[in-house]
Structure 1
Amino acid sequence: MKIQLSRILLLNAAGFVLFLCWYLPVNHGLWFTLDSAIFHFFNRPLAHHRAWVWFLAITNNRAFDGCSLLAMGTLMLRFWLRGAPSERRRIVIIGLVMLLTAIIVNQLAQALMPVKRASPTLFFHDALRVSDFLPLSTKDASKDSFPGDHGMMLLIFCSFMWRYFGQKTCQLALLIFVIFAFPRVMIGAHWLTDIVIGSFSSVLIALPWILLTPVSDKMICFMDHYLPGKNKQKINK
C-alpha cells in the first residue's frame, strides 16, 4: 500500500482543528455549555427513576464492557468462519495488530494531550452518582476522563474494520461504537467532548499514519512471519 500523504495530512489537520476549537476558547466556550447540558439531561432523572438508575448501572458495568468485546469479536468472526485457513490466520493477526495499535495510541494520547480534567460527576457539586443509589459495581466517575479511552478503542476498531473489511462492516462497527461508548457519557463518567473531541482527534492524528501507509500491513507480515502456526506462506498472497 502506498503512502497517501495528502489524505493523511488532511485528516491530521482535521484532528488538530477539532482539538483546538475546543481547547483554545476560555473554559472551552460553547463546548462546555453543550457538555453541561447533556450531563444534566441524563443526570437529573436519577433522583426519580429507579429503572434509569439500573439501566445506567448495567450499561457501565465491567460485564457490559465484555459485551463490547463480544460484539467486536462476533463481527470479525463472520469473516473468520467464511475464510480459508490462511485467511483465518490473517484475521487473527489483524486483531492482534489492532489491539497493539490501540494500546500504543491510547498511551500516547494520554501522555501527550495537554489536558487533565475530572468527569462531570466529580466536577459538579450537585451531581448524582449511580453508585450512591445501588451497590452494583459501575463506572460513574473518573479523575482523568480526557480523552475517552473506551471511545478511542472502539474508534480504532471501526477504523481497522474499514481498512481491512470494507465500508459496510465499518458501518456495523460504528453502531457498536455508539452502543458501547455513549453509556459512559450518560452516566457522567465522561463528558461528551471526551469522546467527540478527545477520542476523535486522537484517532484522526495517529491512525492515518498506520492505516494509510504500509505500517499496518508490515506489522501483519511481521507477525505472520514470527508467530507460530501453519499457512504462513499463503497469508500475503
Structure 2
Amino acid sequence: MNNIRLPQILVLNALGLALFFSWYLPAGHGAWFTLDSSIFHFFNQSLIKSHAFLVFVAITNNRVFDGISLLAMGSLFFCYWRKETPKGRRRMVIMGIVMLFCAIIINQLGHLIPESHVSPTLYFPNIYRVSELLHIPTKDASKDSFPGDHGLMLLIFTGFMLRYLGQKAFAIALIIFLVFMMPRIMIGAHWFTDVFVGSLSVVLVCLPWALLTPLSDGLINLFDRYLPGKNKTIN
C-alpha cells in the first residue's frame, strides 16, 4: 500500500469520535447509561435464575479461558500461515510482531482518555457477584474498566485480519471477538460501553493510522530486512 487512504481514515476517525462523545458528553452518559444498566441487571438477575448459566459465566471468565482466546486467535493465524510459502510465512510472523507492537501502543493511548470508572459489579449496590455465589476462580470486577483492554486487543487483531488476510479471516476474527468479549459483560466485569464505545472508539481513531497508511507495511519491511533468518526456510 503506497498511498495514505486519508478519506477512509478520516471517516473512521469521525465515527470513533462521534461514538465516544455521544457517550462522554451527556450528563451521566445519557441513554448509554440506561442501556448499560439494563444489560447488566438482565445478566445479573440471570445468575440466580439458572445455575447452568452461573457456572458458564464463571468458567468463561476464568484466566484459563483467556488462554483459549489466544489459542483461537493463534489457530486462525496458523490456518493462513500454513498455506504460505516460506517467504510468506516469515512475513506473517513479522506481521504478528507488528500487530503486537501496535496493540501495546494503542492500549497505552487508550488509557490517556480522561475517563475512568469501576465495573458495574462495584458500582451498583445489592447485586450478585459470581465470586460470592461459586467457589470457582473468576474475574467479576474491575477498578478501572474503561476502555476494555481485552476488547481492545481483540478488535486490533480483528483489524489486522481484515487488512492482511481478507474478509473471511475478518469474519472469523469478529466471531472470536464476540465469543470472548461477551462473558466479561455478562459477569459484570465490564459495562457494555467499556467495549462497544471505549474499545471500539479507540480502535477507530488509532488503528487506521497504522493499517491505512504505509506505517504497518513499512514496519513489516523494516523487520524483514533486519531480523535474522531471512534466508532460512520457516517450516
Give TM-score, length-normalised by structure 2.
Answer: 0.96
Structure 1: 4+ residue segments shifted above 6 A? none
Contact 2:224 / 2:230 at 8 angstroms: preserved in 1? Answer: no
1:155 match: 155
Aligned runs of 1:44-193 on 2, under 5 Å? 44-110=45-111, 112-193=112-193
Contact 2:119 / 2:191 at 8 angstroms: preserved in 1? Answer: yes
Distance in 2 (alpha carbons) for counterparts of 1:36 and 1:200 = 19
Post-superposition CA distance 1:24-66 (Å, at most 9, x none): 1110011100000000000012224221211011101111111
Give TM-score, length-normalised by structure 1.
Answer: 0.95
Distance in 2 (alpha carbons) for counterparts of 1:158 and 1:202 = 14
Distance in 2 (alpha carbons) for counterparts of 1:231 and 1:85 = 10
Contact 2:61 / 2:183 at 8 angstroms: preserved in 1? Answer: yes
Shift of 1:106: 0.6
Distance in 2 (alpha carbons) for counterparts of 1:62 and 1:227 = 33
Distance in 1 (alpha carbons) for counterparts of 2:40 and 2:14 = 29
Distance in 1 (alpha carbons) for counterparts of 2:133 and 2:228 = 50
Shift of 1:188: 0.2
Post-superposition CA distance 1:151-204 (Å, at most 9, x none): 110000010000000011101110000000111000000000001100110000
Residue 213, structure 1, aligned to residue 178, structure 2: no
What RMSD, in angstroms, separates the aligned Cα atoms of the two structures?
A: 1.2
Distance in 1 (alpha carbons) for counterparts of 2:33 and 2:231 = 53
Residue 37, structure 1, aligned to residue 7, structure 2: no
Q: Which amino acid is the alignment partner of residue 24 of structure 2?
A: Y
The count of residues paired between Structure 1 and Structure 2 equals 232
Shift of 1:211: 0.2
Contact 1:85 / 1:231 at 8 angstroms: preserved in 2? Answer: no
Structure 1: stretches of 5+ with no match in the other structure: none
Q: Which amino acid is the alignment partner of residue 137 of structure 2?
A: S
Distance in 2 (alpha carbons) for counterparts of 1:231 and 1:140 = 48
